[in-house]
Chains A and B, each alone.
Chain A
Amino acid sequence: MSGPDTNDTPASTHTSEPSTHFGFKQVESSQKVNMVKEVFQSVAAKYDIMNDLMSLGVHRLWKRYTIDCSGVRAGHKVLDLAGGTGDLTAKFSRIVGESGQVVLADINDAMLKVGRDKLRDKGIVGNVQYVQANAEALPFPDNSFDIITIAFGLRNVTDKDKALASMYRVLKPGGRLLVLEFSKPSNEMLNKAYDMYSFHLLPKIGQLVANDADSYQYLAESIRMHPEQEVLKAMMDTAGFEQTTYQNLTGGIVALHRGFKF
């Protein structure tokens, strides 16, 4: 899968098709969705174990932190967007209880399926709904959710502004959005070490465990291409969110952004 080159080759001069990045590659926007899909289709089965390996289990704490900041309680309606294998959904489902509801939405049916099977095995049924959806065009009525979370999902979305606007639309007034995503470590040393880790070690682990170095190379690149803290905060403001704040976790390797709709 090689996208057209951006350097003025004839292919890239046709202006009708906007381009975007896929990791460090430049590809046509319309292609990125499928390429991201391929990546997650291919990692779905090994996704959970890779998550634990790559982050040494710390992703569980980042997710816990997100839930602690969500203000979730019994009866709430929660959207776990790009929810993948459903880590956040599982916990939300127990907390919102029978009177609440959690929607696990993801663009990728392979990830959704792994998620659904995993949650069923854990005995989580009843208040969880599974929806295949693109974050850029959410298939829900306006003002539907008390809380929306998108964990490690936004960087894979082609048009992030469109996605943020869509999330704003389906959030209830008074509701909040939480974006958990890789970000830029605040310390130069940590940044260098982290680069070493993600560009050299991570694809190797990916090759060893999931037999798929390319996908993990993409993950590393997509992390680097994702807008850093202040930029993402500004994007949320533009989408209409208010009182937007962010918190760096683990030295800024990850950041949690939060914004309200009033």
Chain B
Amino acid sequence: MPFAQLVTSGIELAMNQLLKLDDDSQQRLKKLSGKSLQVTIKELPWPLLFSFSEQIDVRIVLTPDSDSEPPCEPVDCLIELNLETLPKLKDSSQLTQLIQQKQLSLIGDIYVAQTFSALLKDLDVDWEEQLSRYTGDVMAHQTFTTMRTLFDTAKSQIEQGAIELGEYLTQSDSIAVKPSEMIEFSRGVSDLRSSTERLSAKIALLEQAKKVDTGLNN
């Protein structure tokens, strides 16, 4: 099976699906219409070629006999980078900085790279809205509020943990965990656990509601 084509079709499907979920992105995609961008990731065997129209098409550039001339297609913009630099592209304002730091090389129209990076970064999918299509507004809202609380709690606990860890590391003498710290930590864990349980009960309810719903529809 042509493996590379399986990969590009996966990337293409995911990107276009995401764009469809964000109504505004279509407008932003228009700015790129007719342009093309080649991304060479040094660790990958083939460069990726993005063509923009009312959707994104993803290809690789191939010659059937791999030992013939290296693929070189005229594109509007060509960037070359390492895998580890890839996540940094999320912030389009960093592009010039990355170029200066020689972490990324760019030939052609920087506008194409910037717009593409902004397009992906600014994707604003209303997941609650998406879920409500299946479960109805109220359920979706409740689930999302719970999930958000849960995420926020988890996040603040992790952050708190990081601060404490930092403090702990700077106090070189404290190797053993103090009983009070242990109690605080356990309380945190048990808070997290009960939030999780609440969420899974809600999800179970949702599933049941959905079953009843489809049952009635049949």
Give the interface of A toward B (CB within 8 A): 58, 60-62, 64-65, 67-69, 71, 73-74, 91, 94-95, 97-99, 123, 245-247, 249-250, 256, 258
Contact of A71 among B8, B34, B73 (CB under 8 A): B73
B8's nearest neighbour on chain A, judged by CB, is A64
The reply to whether A65 and B5 contact each other, CB–CB distance below 8 Å, is: yes
B216 vs chain A, min Cβ distance (A): 30
Q: How far, in whole Å, are A256 and B8 apart by their CA atoms in the complex? A: 19
B83 at the interface (CB under 8 A from A): no
Instruction: Count contacts on B: residues with CB < 8 A to the other chain.
Output: 25
* Chain B at the A interface: SS class: loop
Q: How far, in whole Å, are A60 and B5 apart by their CA atoms in the complex? A: 9
Contact of A94 among B4, B9, B51 (CB under 8 A): B51
B71's nearest neighbour on chain A, judged by CB, is A71
Q: How far, in whole Å, are A67 and B57 apart by their CA atoms in the complex? A: 11
Give chain B interface residues in 43-83, CB to chain A under 8 Å.
51, 53-55, 57, 59-65, 73-75
Q: How far, in whole Å, are A61 and B62 apart by their CA atoms in the complex? A: 14
Contact of B57 among A71, A94, A123, A245 (CB under 8 A): A94
Give the interface of B toward A (CB within 8 A): 1-2, 4-6, 8-9, 33-34, 36, 51, 53-55, 57, 59-65, 73-75
Contact of A61 among B1, B57, B64 (CB under 8 A): B1
- Are A69 and B63 also in contact (CB < 8 A) when A97-B34, A97-B53 are? yes
The reply to whether A94 and B1 contact each other, CB–CB distance below 8 Å, is: no
The reply to whether B5 and A245 contact each other, CB–CB distance below 8 Å, is: no
For the complex of A and B, list the 6 residue pairs with the smallest distance between their C-beta atoms, beginning with the closest.
Answer: A247-B64, A64-B5, A94-B53, A68-B62, A61-B5, A65-B2
The reply to whether A123 and B54 contact each other, CB–CB distance below 8 Å, is: yes
Q: How far, in whole Å, are A250 and B3 apart by their CA atoms in the complex? A: 10
The reply to whether A245 and B62 contact each other, CB–CB distance below 8 Å, is: no
- Are A69 and B2 also in contact (CB < 8 A) when A60-B9, A91-B57, A94-B57 are? no
Q: How far, in whole Å, are A258 and B68 apart by their CA atoms in the complex? A: 13
Q: Which residues of B contact A69 (CB under 8 A)?
A: 62-64
The reply to whether B5 and A247 contact each other, CB–CB distance below 8 Å, is: no
B40 vs chain A, min Cβ distance (A): 15
A256's nearest neighbour on chain B, judged by CB, is B64
B74's nearest neighbour on chain A, judged by CB, is A73
Q: Which residues of B contact A62 (CB under 8 A)?
A: 2
Q: How far, in whole Å, are A18 and B75 apart by their CA atoms in the complex? A: 50
Q: How far, in whole Å, are A64 and B57 apart by their CA atoms in the complex? A: 11
Q: How far, in whole Å, are A64 and B6 apart by their CA atoms in the complex? A: 9
Q: How far, in whole Å, are A94 and B58 apart by their CA atoms in the complex? A: 11
Q: Which residues of B contact A67 (CB under 8 A)?
A: 59
The reply to whether A64 and B9 contact each other, CB–CB distance below 8 Å, is: yes
Q: How far, in whole Å, are A256 and B5 apart by their CA atoms in the complex? A: 14
B73's nearest neighbour on chain A, judged by CB, is A73
Contact of A68 among B36, B53, B60, B74 (CB under 8 A): B60
Q: How far, in whole Å, are A256 and B2 apart by their CA atoms in the complex? A: 12
The reply to whether A61 and B6 contact each other, CB–CB distance below 8 Å, is: yes
- Are A98 and B73 also in contact (CB < 8 A) when A61-B2, A61-B6, A64-B9 are? no
Q: How far, in whole Å, are A99 and B76 apart by their CA atoms in the complex? A: 15
Q: Which residues of A contact B62 (CB under 8 A)?
A: 65, 68-69
- Are A64 and B55 also in contact (CB < 8 A) when A98-B34, A246-B64, A247-B64 are? no
Q: How far, in whole Å, are A134 and B12 apart by their CA atoms in the complex? A: 34
Point out which of B57, B61, B64 has the most chain A C-beta atoms below 10 A from its C-beta: B64
A243's nearest neighbour on chain B, judged by CB, is B68
Q: How far, in whole Å, are A256 and B61 apart by their CA atoms in the complex? A: 15
Q: How far, in whole Å, are A183 and B106 apart by their CA atoms in the complex? A: 42
Q: Which residues of A contact B9 (CB under 8 A)?
A: 60-61, 64
Q: How far, in whole Å, are A68 and B36 apart by their CA atoms in the complex? A: 14
Q: Which residues of A contact B5 (CB under 8 A)?
A: 61, 64-65, 68
B52 vs chain A, min Cβ distance (A): 9
B55's nearest neighbour on chain A, judged by CB, is A94
24 A–B contacts, CB within 8 A, in A order = A58-B1, A60-B9, A61-B2, A61-B5, A61-B6, A64-B5, A64-B9, A65-B2, A65-B62, A68-B4, A68-B8, A68-B59, A68-B60, A71-B61, A73-B36, A74-B34, A74-B36, A91-B57, A94-B53, A95-B36, A123-B54, A245-B64, A247-B64, A258-B64
B30 vs chain A, min Cβ distance (A): 13
